[in-house]
Structure 1
Amino acid sequence: MPARSRGFTLVELLVALAVMALVAVMSWRGLDGMTRAQAQTRAHTDAVLALQTGLAQWTADLDAMLELRELPALDWDGRTLRIVRAASLPGQGGPQIVAWTLRGVAAGGQWMRWQSPVLHSRAELLQAWDSAALWAQNPGSEARRYEVAVMPLADWRIFYYRSNAWTNPLSSPDTRAAAGAGTGTPQLPDGVRLQLELPPGGVVSGVLTRDWARPTVGGGLP
């Protein structure tokens, strides 16, 4: 007589279900941990990329600085750094005004950059220079068209390298006039130090210092 097949008892089924539930919970926790780790890695990568891009643009603006008769090539008023630089794209011909500032510190702070269109006359140059200062104080809808939010920032500081020392740009400036210019415009500092205070608790935090040394540049406005 053939033996009857034996099924699972109720206790065995309950034990199997309990084991499966435990495995499912452990698997879920593992997947959740992997997802969180991927999100943190992505956030860290994005923050580092934004920082690298901002610093690269900062260096490019200073490297492309132009010394003109009409305006100082570099100006720091304690809030905004304005730069006269060569056009960012080859073949455009003419200078541009670039400004950097920190906006909305109480709300978290954003490091901002503003860039004028390519300028072709002295009047356009002077107007863009004034527009850069107004943009940093109270930007209108037109000025916002030319701005870019670079990255979150808690604070920032600027220093000039003059007379073999790093000094506050608003302290007594180097009064040596540019040779042959006859304008009385203070000579450019030999270097610019940028200190960025990154927001605490972020994926990237702390104080970062970037030093720039002045290359030899030149140019003029028709």
Structure 2
Amino acid sequence: MTSRARGFTLIELLLAISILAIIAVLGWRGLDSIVRSRETLTAGMDQSRGLQLAFAQMQSDCENMADGPLLRNRAFLQAEDNRITLVRMVLGENQPTRLQVVSYRVVDGVLTRRESASTRELTQLDGLWQAALSDTDPAAAVALQAGVQNMVMRFWVPTANSGVSVVSNAGGWRPAAGALTAGAPGVTVLPTGLEVSMTQQGLEIPMVKSFLLGAL
């Protein structure tokens, strides 16, 4: 008696195909989730890297900030929400010290930096300072980072000795407001640090960096 080989029935084939289809869909969803997570992580890392580079440039500018005696009691730093304007020294090898106005702005979600022409003339510096404050400086602004929601600053004010007039009544972090001018009447202690907080769009926790003012 001959035996006949038994094959798969139609129901068994349909069941196997259905199982394979379910496995394929689950695998595709898992792979798609991994790809999306990787893209989001890469974008976040790119933004963080961009902000770190912007902070590095700010640190260089703050370290080279011009002091009061050099400016003869002129303003050297003005910070407010989404705006920083400062005067920095330009130090070249075998070159005299020159002064330059640098401004940081957050406009339409983009952090930009603009630097003026360098000069040794204080009267020319006054014009460069006013042009920076009014955003009429003809120098081109360089985009440092996109996707910035806001930029907030604070000053570190050291504790003064008894009987000494200071910018603030006590030491500690204070919201940045107005311009800092060395030698201004009634002010003998100025902030020694600047804290910058930048929040990326879509995030709630800001990236914070503190700088010494005039460390060099």
TM-score (norm 2): 0.70
Question: How much does 1:66 deviate?
Answer: 2.2
Which residue number in structure 2 is paired with residue 213 of structure 1?
Answer: 212
Amino acid at match of 2:192: G
What is the SS of the residue equivalent to 1:52? helix
1:28, 1:52 → 2: CA distance? 36
Q: What is the aligned partner in structure 1 of residue 149 from structure 2?
A: 153
Residues 169 and 201 (structure 1), Cα distance of their counterparts in 2 relative to 1, 3 Å cut: closer
Distance 1:169 1:12, change over 3 A: closer
Cα deviation, 1:77-112, whole Å, max 9, x if unaligned, reads: 6453322223388788633211123334xxxx4443
DSSP 3-state at the match of 1:30: helix
Q: Residues 83 and 173 from structure 1, CA distance in 2 versus in 1: closer, same or farther, beyond 3 angstroms?
A: closer
Equivalent-residue separation in structure 2 for 1:4 and 1:89 (angstroms): 95
**1:194–1:112 distance in 2 versus 1, CA, 3 Å:** farther
Instruction: State the number of aligned residues.
Output: 200
Higher strand proportion: 2
Quote the Cα distance in structure 1 between the aligned partners of 2:36 and 2:87.
45
- Give the alignment's Cα RMSD to 1 decimal: 3.8
* Unpaired runs of at least 5, structure 2: 161-169
Q: Percent identity?
A: 22
In the alignment, the residues of structure 2 paired with residue 214 and residue 52 of structure 1 have an alpha-carbon distance, to the nearest angstrom, of 18
Distance change >3 Å, CA 160–CA 81, structure 1 → 2: farther
Distance 1:76 1:155, change over 3 A: same
- Tell me what 1:85 maps to: 88
Matches within 5 A, 1:43-58: 43-58=43-58
When the two structures are superposed, what TM-score results if normalisation uses the length of structure 1? 0.68
Alpha-carbon displacement from aligned partner over 1:139-182 (angstroms, at most 9, x marks no partner)? 68x44x223243503341332425361445547978x73xxxxx
Q: Does 1:100 align with 2:104?
A: yes
Q: Which moved more, 1:40-49 or 1:158-167?
A: 158-167
Deviates more, 1:27-36 or 1:40-49: 40-49
Q: Distance in 2 between matches of 1:122 and 1:38?
A: 52
Gaps of 5+ in 1: 178-182, 218-222
Q: Given the superposition, is the C-alpha separation of residues 165 and 78 from structure 1 closer, same or farther in structure 2, using an over 3 Å criterion?
A: same
